[in-house]
């Protein structure tokens, strides 16, 4: 199983999107994170912040699922955990870093598309520890863009969008984007900010809160590409939609 972690370095503003083979260690010190785990090479990701422990957390595969095992305070989708299973789209908070976790599907197809990026991808597949990722990761957005069929070096929007399931925008143009109003809105202008009032304790997923069941059942919210149906709230359905679908219901001046 191959996974992708996506985050923005709060210090430099750089975006990282490595694709990795678990186990993956997260921490402040490269040398103090384990190089191997259960006889497997560990990819080590350096997250440089005082509130991140030298060896903070480990992502590993257990019975086909990816688990986060944390040595210190970590959160999954806003819930503090010592360990928990990760599902596609989950947000992992480690210190000031928010990493979006995704499972990379159709690896074979993607490998065919990213022939140019093979050397870097190979580095990330676990046989070789991801030494000094922070130093090489500046190249990764371009590689990811290529993997998605885009030209290398293309701009990729790193705005956080969506409602309950926040996600990275990842568009390559702001033109026609409903979230940033063609690039006119500032990064901190959330189009759903008024909607949060409608949902008490928005963002809290503990029992008794509005978001509890949504979080508990999050694995079931699968987007059916054929029917384009997601039995969920509007903004979250948008998290699963194709780009053309999101153009609807975004303009009150339409007729």
**Candidates 112-120, 126-134, 140-148, 227-235; binding stretch for other proteins (CB under 8 A):** 227-235
For other proteins (CB under 8 A), the number of binding residues is: 25
Q: Which is nearer to other proteins, 217 or 247 (CB)?
A: 247
Q: Is residue 233 within the footprint of other proteins (CB under 8 A)? A: yes
Burial class (CB in 10 A: 0-12, 13-18, 19+), 195: middle
Tokens of 192: 């759903």
Question: Is-cis flag, bond preceding 28, omega within 30?
Answer: no
Nearest to 134 by CA among 36, 73, 40, 52: 52
Q: Which is nearer to other proteins, 103 or 174 (CB)?
A: 174
3-state secondary structure of 113: helix
Nearest to 34 by CA among 45, 46, 23, 42: 42
How are beta strands 43-46 and 24-27 bridged, if at all?
Answer: parallel
Q: Which is nearer to other proteins, 135 or 255 (CB)?
A: 255
**Candidates 40-48, 100-108, 149-157, 225-233; binding stretch for other proteins (CB under 8 A):** 225-233
Q: Which is nearer to other proteins, 219 or 250 (CB)?
A: 250
User: Distance of CA 90 to CAs 31, 87, 152, Å?
Assistant: 27, 6, 27
User: Least separation, in Å, of the C-beta of 229 and other proteins?
Assistant: 5
Q: Is residue 195 within the footprint of other proteins (CB under 8 A)? A: yes
Which residues 135-194 are close enough to bind other proteins by CB under 8 A?
178, 191-194
**Candidates 44-52, 55-63, 73-81, 237-245; binding stretch for other proteins (CB under 8 A):** 237-245
User: Least separation, in Å, of the C-beta of 212 and other proteins?
Assistant: 18
User: Least separation, in Å, of the C-beta of 227 and other proteins?
Assistant: 7
CA–CA distance, 57 with 70 (Å, rounded to integer): 4
Helix (H) or strand (E) run with residue 108 in it? helix 107-113
Q: Is residue 198 within the footprint of other proteins (CB under 8 A)? A: yes
Burial class (CB in 10 A: 0-12, 13-18, 19+), 16: buried
User: Least separation, in Å, of the C-beta of 201 and other proteins?
Assistant: 17
> Contact residues for other proteins (CB under 8 A)?
178, 191-195, 197-198, 227-229, 233-234, 241, 244-245, 247-255
């Amino acid at each position: 199983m191959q996974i992708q972690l996506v985050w923005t370095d709060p210090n430099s503003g750089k975006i990282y999107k490595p694709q990795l083979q678990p186990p993956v260690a997260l921490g402040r010190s490269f040398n103090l994170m384990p190089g191997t785990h259960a006889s497997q090479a560990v990819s080590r990701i350096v997250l440089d912040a005082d509130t991140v422990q030298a060896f903070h957390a480990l992502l590993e595969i257990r019975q086909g699922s990816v688990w986060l095992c944390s040595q210190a305070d970590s959160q999954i989708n806003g819930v503090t955990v010592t360990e928990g299973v990760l599902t596609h789209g989950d947000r992992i908070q480690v210190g000031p870093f928010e990493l979006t976790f995704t499972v990379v599907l159709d690896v074979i197809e993607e490998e065919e598309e990213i022939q140019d990026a093979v050397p870097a991808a190979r580095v990330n597949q676990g046989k070789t520890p991801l030494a000094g990722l922070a130093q090489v990761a500046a190249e990764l957005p371009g590689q990811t863009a290529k993997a998605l069929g885009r030209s290398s070096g293309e701009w990729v929007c790193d705005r956080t969008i969506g409602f309950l399931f926040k996600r990275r925008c990842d568009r390559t143009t702001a033109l026609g984007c409903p979230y940033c109003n063609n690039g006119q809105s500032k990064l901190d202008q959330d189009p759903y900010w008024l909607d949060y009032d409608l949902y008490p304790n928005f963002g809290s997923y503990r029992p008794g809160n509005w978001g509890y069941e949504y979080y508990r059942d999050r694995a079931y919210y699968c987007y059916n590409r054929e029917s384009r149906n997601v039995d969920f709230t509007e903004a979250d359905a948008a998290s699963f939609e194709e780009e053309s679908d999101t153009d609807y219901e975004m303009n009150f001046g339409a007729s």
